[in-house]
């Protein structure tokens, strides 16, 4: 649009400074056009003779021709002035920044808003500041399919295996001036830096970690290295995010082998998890049982000790009583022993001479007691 305004402006300037020549040549041009459209200059008389038509003398300038030239010049000048006025202002969007230059030198950098510039002398270069994305290791076809780029995606790992890994890089412009003037192809330069950062990172990991567990760490390291490279080379771009899209071995046979290895690892993890689950279930149960047994043993120990101490104390008291009254103590011990051995036996007292035996308990009580004569009871007492 700016170039069109420039052409119209210079065309109006040329017509303005050559307006006298145009006025002088305008009648001649009109006469030549009339001769072209009128046909041949040879005419025949009624008697068949042919004569040559004499050229007409050029007409003098008429006021009408001068008015037409002035009108055309005025229209061109008005169009040029309008074009110049329209090109003196420019608008910068919210997601854009504009770099204003004059004779190749940077005048200023503008953000969103309406601005003025000197027409035909100053030029505006608008830069999109939104986030963009490119694929590394693959390309998108017209129908949306991913096309693998082997030159970018296949890399070597620390255990000297090959892996096909794809990345998606999100970036945006950080410095419009550096983006426009520091490099001829900023996106291409950034992509080469990203490839170098990716290769220098992937080579530090074995292939199984690249495919499975180390993707997040690889992404972080690649982003950090790329940011450092972009800042050192002042490309005018910054990396917003770097993500691993896919990582797999480069051949179908290796893919199948890795799938089997992955399946075996998952089986191993499942078995380990089951064993840990069983361990977590059994150990608390065993600890509870052990604690219960320990507490029971401690209780039994305390009871046995208390019982033994009681028995010892009782024996000491009985011994003291025996020393004082031996016969009475022996009889008492005998009766207590019989009560313990035969707790359901009824006691009958007799003097050993009478023929009758009188039970101490009521006659209505059941007769389950064993009857002994006085001599046997006396002998047992002795």
Residues 6+ apart with CB under 8 A from 265: none
Pair (270, 319) in one structural domain: yes
46 in any annotated domain: no
115 in any annotated domain: yes
User: Which of 258, 241, 252 lies closest to 206, judged by CA?
Assistant: 258
Q: Do the Cβ atoms of 208 and 265 come closer than 8 Å?
A: no
Pair (155, 118) in one structural domain: no
Give per-residue pLDDT as tens, 23-41. 777 677 667 666 665 554 4
198 in any annotated domain: yes
Task: Judge whether residue 143 has pLDDT over 50.
Answer: yes
Position with higher pLDDT, 73 vs 111: 111
Coil, helix or strand at residue 16:
helix
pLDDT value at position 63? 47
DSSP 346: P
Position with higher pLDDT, 80 vs 136: 136
pLDDT value at position 256? 75
Q: Provide the residue range defining the domain that includes 259.
A: 251-324
Task: Judge whether residue 313 has pLDDT over 70.
Answer: yes
Pair (229, 170) in one structural domain: yes
Pair (256, 314) in one structural domain: yes
102 in any annotated domain: yes
Number of independent structural domains in the chain:
5
Helix (H) or strand (E) holding 265: helix 252-324
**Rounded to whole angstroms, how far apart are CA atoms 116 and 122?**
10
Pair (261, 178) in one structural domain: no
Alpha-carbon distances of 228 from 132, 152, 203, 221, 222, rounded to whole Å: 19, 21, 19, 11, 10
**Residue owning tokens 């089951």:** 274
351 in any annotated domain: yes
Coil, helix or strand at residue 359:
strand
User: Which of 245, 195, 244, 246 lies closest to 220, judged by CA?
Assistant: 244
**Rounded to whole angstroms, how far apart are CA atoms 139 and 57?**
74
Mean pLDDT over each residue of the chain, to the nearest integer = 78
pLDDT value at position 154? 87
pLDDT value at position 89? 82
Give per-residue pLDDT as tens, 157-205. 898 888 889 999 999 999 999 999 999 999 999 999 999 999 999 999 9
Domain-ending residue, one of 235, 250, 265? 250
Pair (205, 216) in one structural domain: yes
pLDDT value at position 15? 67
Task: Judge whether residue 77 has pLDDT over 70.
Answer: yes
Domain-ending residue, one of 101, 123, 145? 123
309 in any annotated domain: yes
281 in any annotated domain: yes
Position with higher pLDDT, 372 vs 239: 239
Output the furthest CA–CA distance in the chain (Å, rounded). Answer: 210
pLDDT value at position 43? 47
pLDDT value at position 379? 43
Pair (290, 234) in one structural domain: no
Give per-residue pLDDT as tens, 332-356. 778 888 777 777 666 666 666 666 5
Give per-residue pLDDT as tens, 117-134. 888 788 899 999 999 999
Q: Are strands 89-92 and 50-52 parallel, antiparallel or unpaired?
A: unpaired
Can you read off the two tokens belonging to residue 28?
């001649």
Pair (139, 238) in one structural domain: yes
Give per-residue pLDDT as tens, 219-272. 999 999 999 999 999 999 999 999 998 888 877 776 677 678 778 888 999 999
Task: Judge whether residue 52 has pLDDT over 70.
Answer: no
Q: Do the Cβ atoms of 320 and 329 come closer than 8 Å?
A: no
Helix (H) or strand (E) holding 79: helix 63-86
54 in any annotated domain: no
User: Which of 348, 336, 338 lies closest to 372, judged by CA?
Assistant: 348
**Rounded to whole angstroms, how far apart are CA atoms 134 and 190?**
10
Residue 317 CB-half CA count within 13 A? 7
Phi, psi of 317 (to 5 degrees): -65, -40
pLDDT value at position 347? 62
Phi, psi of 360 (to 5 degrees): -70, -40
Q: Do the Cβ atoms of 247 and 163 come closer than 8 Å?
A: yes
Domain-ending residue, one of 324, 340, 372? 324
Pair (101, 118) in one structural domain: yes
Pair (215, 265) in one structural domain: no
**Rounded to whole angstroms, how far apart are CA atoms 43 and 380?**
189
Task: Judge whether residue 60 has pLDDT over 90.
Answer: no
- Four-point Cα dihedral 296, 298, 299, 300, nearest 10: 80
Pair (263, 219) in one structural domain: no
**Rounded to whole angstroms, how far apart are CA atoms 320 and 28?**
168
Give per-residue pLDDT as tens, 273-291. 999 999 999 999 899 999 9
Pair (95, 116) in one structural domain: yes
pLDDT value at position 51? 46
User: Beta partners for 126?
Assistant: 98
pLDDT value at position 345? 63
Q: What is the CATH number of the domain that holds 169?
A: 3.30.479.30
Q: Where are the beta strands (DSSP E) in the chain?
A: 42-44, 50-52, 89-92, 96-102, 105-110, 113-116, 122-128, 132-136, 138-140, 146-148, 154-156, 162-173, 237-248, 348-349, 358-359
pTM: 0.50
Task: Judge whether residue 363 has pLDDT over 70.
Answer: no
């Amino acid at each position: 649009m700016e170039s069109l305004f420039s052409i119209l402006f210079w065309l109006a300037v040329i017509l303005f400074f050559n307006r006298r020549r145009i006025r002088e040549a305008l009648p001649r041009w009109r006469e030549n056009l009339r001769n072209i459209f009128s046909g041949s200059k040879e005419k025949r008389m009624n008697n068949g003779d042919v004569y040559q038509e004499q050229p007409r003398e050029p007409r003098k300038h008429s006021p009408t021709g001068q008015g037409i030239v002035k009108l055309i010049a005025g229209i061109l000048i008005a169009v040029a002035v309008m074009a110049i006025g329209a090109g003196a202002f420019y608008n910068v969007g919210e997601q854009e920044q504009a770099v204003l230059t004059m004779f190749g030198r940077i005048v200023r950098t503008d953000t969103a808003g309406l601005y003025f510039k000197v027409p035909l002398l100053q030029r505006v270069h608008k830069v999109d500041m939104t986030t963009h994305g490119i694929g590394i290791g693959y390309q998108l076809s017209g129908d949306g399919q991913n096309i693998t780029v082997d030159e970018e995606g296949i890399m070597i790992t620390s255990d000297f295996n090959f892996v096909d890994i794809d990345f998606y890089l999100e970036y945006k412009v950080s410095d419009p001036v550096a983006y426009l003037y520091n490099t001829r192809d900023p996106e291409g330069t950034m992509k080469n830096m990203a490839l170098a950062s990716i290769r220098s990172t992937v080579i530090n990991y074995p292939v199984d970690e690249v495919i499975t567990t180390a993707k997040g760490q690889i992404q972080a390291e690649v982003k950090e290295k790329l940011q450092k490279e972009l800042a050192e080379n002042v490309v005018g771009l910054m990396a917003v995010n770097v993500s691993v899209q896919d990582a797999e071995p480069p051949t179908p046979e290796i893919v199948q082998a890795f799938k089997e290895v992955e399946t075996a690892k998952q089986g191993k993890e499942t078995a380990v998890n089951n064993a840990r689950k069983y361990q977590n279930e059994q150990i608390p149960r065993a600890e509870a049982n052990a604690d219960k047994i320990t507490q029971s043993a401690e209780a039994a120990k305390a009871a046995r000790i208390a019982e033994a101490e009681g028995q010892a104390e009782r024996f000491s008291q009985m011994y003291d009583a025996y020393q004082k009254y031996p016969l009475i103590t022996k009889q008492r011990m005998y009766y207590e022993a019989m009560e313990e051995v035969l707790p359901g036996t009824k006691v009958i007292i007799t003097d050993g001479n009478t023929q009758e035996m009188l039970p101490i308990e009521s006659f209505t009580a059941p007769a389950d007691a064993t009857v002994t004569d006085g001599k046997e009871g006396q002998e047992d007492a002795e």
